[in-house]
Amino acid sequence: MKQAAAAVLGGGVFAVSYLLLGLPLTVSAVAALGGYGSGLFLFFSRKNAGLEVQLGEVDPETVQQAINDASAKVDVIEKLNGRIAKPEVKEKIGTLITTARGILDDIRKDPKDVRRARQFLNYYLDAVTRILTRYTDLTERGIDSPEAHAALGKVESLLLTLEGAFERQRASLAQDDVLDLDSEMSVLEKTLDMEGLK
């Protein structure tokens, strides 16, 4: 199961590198192998295994480390955004940053949300960083070719997809909070009923 997930990650890296960014086939293949290896490391590492196995409370230190790592990634994205000149692209990335920080705030308030945000913490932030690094490099080098324009256009289109993914992640965490609240209210109502206080 974990090998399959790592393979999917490698395939995603290949798709982004070859189809989206237009990198050569050999470079994309090497990047895909790197993605596969990173996936194996992530899925089999002790820290992530701990997050997966724990069903009750999560380890506060593990949660804090996950938040710190993710915050550092968001800081990198913010710095990359500072290098981008196109206003509409800066605005989209700014929205991603705001949503990402909101997700991290949600995890701080409800640490068990870290389990539901694993894909966001371990994949989406890294993907955004890699894509924006490539985007800023291309724009700053001033490469004026049809291939470069196509690659930049694909990244700009992808930002909308990422924006939706980030928003769905935050909504998912909020929905979990709603379900928790519903559960607590149900227990409270039953207790009041049993005590004759309802």
CA distance 49 to 61: 15
Average confidence (pLDDT) over 134-143? 87
Longest dimension (CA), the chain: 77
| Helix locations, the chain, DSSP H | 2-14, 25-44, 46-53, 60-82, 87-109, 113-116, 118-119, 125-141, 146-194
Tokens representing residue 196 in the block: 């004759």
Lowest mean pLDDT among 130-139, 151-160, 189-198: 189-198
pLDDT digits (tens, 9 = 90+) for 85-116: 999 999 999 999 999 999 999 999 999 889 88
CA distance 44 to 96: 29
Look-up: residue for tokens 């070719």? Answer: 145
Model pTM?
0.62
Burial (CB < 10 A; 0-12, 13-18, 19+), residue 178, is exposed
- How much is the mean pLDDT over the chain? 75
Type of residue numbered 104: L
What pLDDT, on a 0 to 100 scale, did the predictor assign at position 11?
Answer: 55
Nearest to 115 by CA among 181, 162, 49: 49
pLDDT digits (tens, 9 = 90+) for 19-50: 655 656 554 554 445 554 555 455 444 444 44
